Amino acid sequence: MEVIPWREVEPLDLPDGSLQQVLASVDTLRSAWKTFIKGVSDEEFAEARQRSLRRHAIETGIVERLYDVSWGVTEALIAEGLVREVAEREGGITDDAFQTIQGQFEALEFLAAAARDERRLSIIVINDLHKLITRHQSTYEGTDVLRRRGEMPLHHGQWKKEPNHVYREDGPLLQYAPPEQVQQQMERLLELFEDTENAHPLIRAAWLHHQFICIHPFEDGNGRVARGLVLLVLLEQNYAPLVVDRNRRDEYIRALDSANDGDLGPLVHFFAQLEIVALRSEIELPVRDARVGETPAEVARSYVERLRGVKLGTDEARAAGTATVAAALTGRIRSELDEQADSLEREFTSLDPRLSVFVESASPPEPKSTYWGIQLRKTARAAGFSPNLTDGTWWTQLGLIVLSQRLRYVVAVQKVGPGETGVLAVTVFVELVPPPDGELGERALPVPLFAPTSADSVTLTGRENLDDRWPEVCELIERTLAASVVEFARLLG
């Protein structure tokens, strides 16, 4: 049996320069995010931040497979709050899971307060964090002194008394620090963390997260505490709290395995991608419920005032820069899809000589730029942001008809958030378009062939060099189009 032995906490060895581009992209987006939040009220920003923390509180337990909560229930709890009435109305969540989520949320609020108060990271803070995160968890699955597996009592905020090694998903036994070394290693971790203060916050967060995981100081809850420490580092430096969600768990595990093998770069890159999603998700005006006694006209007036504030705060230069980048990017996307269309036509012609392949695009203010509103909103929400479709969207469609089956593949460049935030997101949606049915030529609704996640988008601003970001967009197109062709080919068979 292969064994990966535990190692003492190691000083930060800065990753190579290959991460500079993604970190620069994060910081460019962060500048746009900071500009946006200056224009919203303290109440609106607080609500946006609460939504971010609620999402983290739910997903961190799902990543650990402590419970399962559907996307529908998750979104309701994020939007309306972690209240029992919402959980009971939506259903599909146990009392134990709900209490665990509430405890995890309280732990995150504790970290947010610690960041605001500039409270120094210490053993006490970490132990208090563990107590809060595991407050509603009384046991964990462990091994006793006779090597029997079973439910063991969980000691909150106390170091482990027994080894807690695990098997990696690729086979080897991964050893963590033995119990007698935990106190010394944790003290060393905090000392070396102070030495990382000149590194980028995402590099510091990734290093702290990984070294903490290598110690695994508690009986259970180590992953949740480690992700909480990432949040603390980012909040202290005025970044948004990133969320490791269920759809990216495998990617997260692979990045941690790479760090175990001596390469921290993939974990930094992964956290950078999640930070982009986190910043993007907070560029949004939260919906507020009607207050008791408000008339419809008063509710409407409230929203109009908020939206007018956004409109009046529009920076024309920022809007022009965004449009220039979006138009140039759409031109590149059109050229790429033209090439892909030619390749697909060559491959499918032997199967159907009468096939049809075409590429078309539209940009504001063309009337066609307002197409696909429903699909684009759904795609944006799946990617974790609120789109601005008011003036249309820059989109490019590749259509493929083979054996009477029609594939619609659309790459869109969408504005992010209300008004002119200066932020764009490249997203993809894919559909199977049913043929007309019946004498009146009625057509059934398209069937989605691709379920996007936050990983299936690229975010950029009007101030970035398109040459630097094009490889990411090209990779997104190639990956999603290949996956779409696989599904389409299965339908043909």
**Domain holding 136: CATH number?**
1.10.3290.10
> Is there a single domain that holds both residue 369 and residue 433?
yes
**Is residue 296 included in any domain, yes or no?**
no
Q: Does 34 lie in the same domain as 176?
A: yes
- Which residue, 237, 262, 281, sits at the end of a domain? 281
217 lies in some domain? yes
Q: With bands split at pLDDT 50, 70 and 90, how would you rate the model's confidence at 255?
A: very high
Is the same domain home to 255 and 323? no
Do 406 and 324 share a structural domain?
A: yes
Half-sphere exposure of 449 toward its Cβ, with a 13 Å CA cutoff?
A: 25
Number of domains in the chain: 2
Same domain? For 258 and 389 the reply is no
Whether the per-residue pLDDT at 142 is higher than 90: the answer is no
Does residue 261 carry a pLDDT above 60?
yes
Same domain, yes or no, for 420 and 347? yes
Whether this model's pTM surpasses 0.85: yes
Q: Report whether 167 contacts 174 (CB < 8 A).
A: yes
Which residue segment(s) compose the domain that 79 sits in? 3-281
Q: Which residue has the higher pLDDT, 488 or 314?
A: 488
- The pLDDT of residue 297 is 79
* 388 in any annotated domain: yes
Quick one: angle between helices 222-236 and 95-116, nearest 10?
30
- Taking every pair of Cα atoms in the chain, the longest distance, rounded to a whole number of angstroms, is 79
Q: In this predicted model, what pLDDT tens digit does every residue of 4-49 receive, in sequence order?
A: 899 999 999 988 888 999 999 999 999 999 999 988 889 889 999 9
Asked which of 227, 258, 281 is the last residue of a domain, the reply is: 281
Same domain for 325 and 275: no
> Is residue 90 in a domain?
yes
Mean pLDDT of 112-121: 96
Say whether both 328 and 262 belong to one domain. Answer: no
pLDDT of 386 > 60? The answer is yes
Asked if residue 190 belongs to a domain, the reply is: yes
Q: How do residues 420-452 score in pLDDT, each as one tens digit?
A: 899 999 999 999 998 876 555 566 789 999 899
List of residues 6+ apart from 381 with CB closer than 8 A? none
Kindly state the tokens that stand for 100: 């665990």
Structure tokens belonging to residue 288: 């507020």
At residue 428, the 3 state secondary structure works out as strand
Token code pair at residue 352: 């159907």
160 and 270 belong to one structural domain: yes
286 is a domain residue: no
| Average pLDDT for the chain | 91
Last residue of a domain, one of 281, 298, 328: 281
Query: Are β-strands 3-4 and 173-174 bridged in parallel, bridged antiparallel, or unpaired?
Result: parallel
Let me know whether 255 and 383 are in one domain.
no
Answer whether residue 456 is part of any domain.
yes
